């Protein structure tokens, strides 16, 4: 049987090497042009990500308005649940449970562009009312109002002790559902041994 010559053996090796080289170069070229094509496509159609949204657009997204669920006054270590209240014969009476605060549902909701968010709560002359110490709040203190999905922080602008007559005269301005956006917190004040003669009124702004 005739043995293959050295020349033919080398020739076969050369063919194999050439085929492998062509395959490698072909794959490299395919990979190179594929990457170029993908890069061009990515330039033409940038991915939609949150970073492409302008910062001013994100800042302009309003918080959701909702019913008041809770109120916190950190400076007094007061944290209370809130229930909705309706006017009854022209009077807004705080919840029977003195540990709760009430929100006038006929007024503004937290996050609204205008109107007073009105919160009321009991002061008890013998202690135990959720707003017993409301008069100790200072200008600049924060009051946090919680809804189901959001928290709204208000900064105290004024703290006043008013007689019932003074509250009645200022009621339209204090509790206006269409005026300046603000939070108004009211409780009883000035116990004379028989009944409360006035109110403590705290006004806070967003």
Active site residues: 122, 188
- CA–chain centroid gap for 15, Å, is 71
Q: With b meaning 16 or more CB within 10 Å and e meaning fewer, what string describes 173-191? A: ebbbeeeebbbbbbbbbee
Distance CA 144, CA 30 (A): 61
Residue 58, token pair as written in the block: 């994100």
Distance CA 124, CA 128 (A): 6
Neighbours of 14 (CB within 10 A): 10
Q: With b meaning 16 or more CB within 10 Å and e meaning fewer, what string describes 140-171? A: ebebbbbbeeeebebebeebbebeeeebeeee
Neighbours of 202 (CB within 10 A): 24
């Amino acid at each position: 049987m005739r043995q293959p010559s050295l020349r033919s053996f080398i020739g076969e090796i050369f063919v194999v090497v050439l085929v492998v080289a062509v395959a490698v170069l072909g794959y490299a070229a395919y990979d190179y042009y594929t990457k170029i094509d993908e890069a061009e496509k990515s330039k033409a159609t940038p991915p939609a990500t949150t970073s492409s949204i302008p910062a001013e657009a994100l800042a302009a997204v309003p918080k959701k308005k909702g019913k008041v669920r809770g109120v916190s006054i950190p400076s007094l270590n007061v944290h209370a649940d809130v229930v909705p209240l309706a006017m009854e014969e022209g009077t807004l009476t705080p919840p029977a449970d003195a540990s709760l605060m009430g929100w006038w549902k006929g007024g503004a909701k937290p996050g609204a562009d205008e109107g007073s968010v009105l919160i009321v709560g009991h002061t008890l002359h013998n202690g135990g009312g959720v707003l017993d110490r409301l008069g100790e709040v200072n200008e600049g203190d924060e009051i946090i109002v919680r809804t189901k999905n959001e928290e709204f922080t208000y900064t105290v602008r004024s703290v006043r002790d008013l007689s019932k007559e003074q509250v009645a005269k200022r009621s339209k301005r204090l509790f206006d559902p269409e005026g300046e956006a603000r939070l108004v917190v009211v409780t009883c004040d000035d116990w004379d041994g028989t009944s409360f003669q006035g109110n403590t009124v705290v006004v806070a702004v967003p």
